[in-house]
Amino acid sequence: MDKRTLTRKVLPGILFLFALGVELATFPPWDTLSYDGALYIDIARNLAVSPTNFTYQGVYVMYRPPLYPYTLSLFYHFVHEPLSQLRVARLVSVVFFALTAVLVYLLTLELFERFVKGILASAFFIFNALAFTMGTRELVHSEFTFFYTLAIYLLYTGRKRGSPTRIYLAFVSAGLAILTRYTGLSIIAVFVAYLWLTEYWNWVKKREYWIGFALLLLTVSPWLYLGHLHYGGVLKPFEIASRTVTADRPVSVSTFLKWLVDDIGAVLPALALLGFVRQKQDEKGWLLISWALIGFAMIMTVTHKETRFITFLAPVMGILAVEGVSLIVDGIEKALELAGRPIKPWKKAITIGLALLLLIPVGGSAFHLKERWNTTGKCESHTLRYASERYSARTLLVSPTLYTIAGFYYPRARVDAITSRINVEDRLKHGYYDMVITKTESEEHLVEESGGYRQVGEFCGRFKIFIKEGFGAN
């Protein structure tokens, strides 16, 4: 087998299967479901019925990016059982995670022309706690990370090989990244910064980039049109998404960084920072600097921050981590040379050994974070599954934290959240709801005041299930 076949075909296949196998071996249980994940599945079900029905409970939710729900809807044409749909959503994330692991390897190979570096960079990506955890969740991050990384890979290789086609595809992939998560808008700034740093204003004179931006606009245009149709403006989905995030609990940069270290550990960020310092002012260096710096800065400008928001930077963190390891080995080499003990013949072995050693704490953080996420929505899932298996309710009133999860377990039911007290009181008195699930004492008191409901279950000492008098079990 020649080296090119090994590095370009065999190793990518092995890395794909390894990433796929690791995620399948650590697949989350059925009783962990996030609020956002349930919403994406709820939307995808409606899209499987009608491709323009981007709604939940009859309300357009276009402040949520469309590509992930549309991807799920392709499978939901023939997968209808809720827990099976949950597994499909997670398998989609697993596949995109494995594909991204291959992309990290290929991009590193293009940058440094060393397949060992590519394997190590891919390993640091695979065991990045955020990528590893999001790679099996019913959320957008895995698919988003793939298209974001693919856009970077295609732009770099398109320029390196003088291929306009790859550059065009890079902009199409950038458009798909934007449609997967609105944070993807940062890729426009990454592209422009990288092109300016490498070519100054000369890139503006080249038609392939103007065609690329036109293709990006064309890629997102169907969504812009639907925004105009249902939200009253082509940019309304982005505006409302920004307003929704801004209205959420603000998180300071210092708090975010503390959370980040708690989630992924200190080793990986430290290695990435060292790798960042090692970059030179050349084509490769400017690419990695633009990607890491602008992507991170964009997240820091958001009022509400969660560590999972920077999952899309896991690939560049993996590449920079390997560069960080190389910087450490370079330092060791220089120190030993001064002491008259050169390590040149052993340099590659020392680099691999050190990288594998540092992967141990990195991997430990990954497994720890995944276990923490496996408790997400546990009580909510047990409550709703118990209710759905015993009572065929058509109208439900639930605590706001259960709003999307209730829709997940009751696909054909009308679900309301306990938000407007006057409206809820009136409907409770008239017996409008077949079932009510409360979380707080005030919500429970509201149900008891109506006098028409009896309690039939309680979970985790918080969630209480009430059914309408005269409404029986299945």
- Which pTM value belongs to this model? 0.94
Q: Which pair of tokens denotes residue 136?
A: 């099996």
Query: What pLDDT score was predicted for residue 449?
Result: 86
The closest alpha carbon to 317, from 11, 100, 158, 14, belongs to 100
Query: What pLDDT score was predicted for residue 247?
Result: 63
Query: What pLDDT score was predicted for residue 245?
Result: 65
pLDDT string in tens for the chain (474-residue length):
677 777 788 999 999 999 999 999 999 999 999 999 999 999 999 999 999 899 999 888 888 889 999 999 999 999 999 999 999 999 999 999 999 999 999 999 999 988 999 999 999 999 999 999 999 999 999 999 999 999 999 999 999 999 999 999 999 999 999 999 988 899 999 999 999 999 888 999 899 999 999 999 999 998 888 887 777 777 777 777 777 766 667 888 999 999 999 999 999 999 999 999 999 989 999 999 999 999 999 899 888 889 999 999 999 999 999 999 999 998 888 887 777 777 667 778 888 999 999 999 999 999 999 999 999 999 999 999 999 999 999 999 999 999 999 999 999 999 999 986 557 888 898 889 999 999 998 899 989 888 889 999 999 989 999 999 888 777
Q: Mapped to the 3 state alphabet, what secondary structure does the chain carry?
A: CCHHHHHHHHHHHHHHHHHHHHHHHCCCCCCCCCHHHHHHHHHHHHHHHCCCCCEECCEECCCCCCHHHHHHHHHHCCCCCHHHHHHHHHHHHHHHHHHHHHHHHHHHHHHHCCHHHHHHHHHHHHCCHHHHHHCCCCCCHHHHHHHHHHHHHHHHHHHHHCCHHHHHHHHHHHHHHHHHCHHHHHHHHHHHHHHHHHHCCHHHHCHHHHHHHHHHHHHHHHHHHHHHHHHCCCCHHHHHHHHHHHHCCCCCHHHHHHHHHHHHCCHHHHHHHHHHHHCCCCHHHHHHHHHHHHHHHHHHCCCCCCHHHHHHHHHHHHHHHHHHHHHHHHHHHHHHHHCCCCCHHHHHHHHHHHHHHHHHHHHHHHHHHHHHHCCCCHHHHHHHHHHHHHCCCCEEEECHHHHHHHHHHCCCCEEEECCCHHHHHHHHHCCCCCEEEECCHHHHHHHHHHCCEEEEEEECCCEEEEEECCCCCC
Query: What pLDDT score was predicted for residue 410?
Result: 96
Query: What pLDDT score was predicted for residue 349?
Result: 87
Query: What pLDDT score was predicted for residue 420?
Result: 63
Report the distance separating Cα 437 and Cα 366, nearest Å: 34
Query: What pLDDT score was predicted for residue 30?
Result: 93
Report the distance separating Cα 30 and Cα 83, nearest Å: 7
Query: What pLDDT score was predicted for residue 246?
Result: 62
Report the distance separating Cα 61 and Cα 39, nearest Å: 10
Cβ atoms of 18 and 127 closer than 8 Å: no
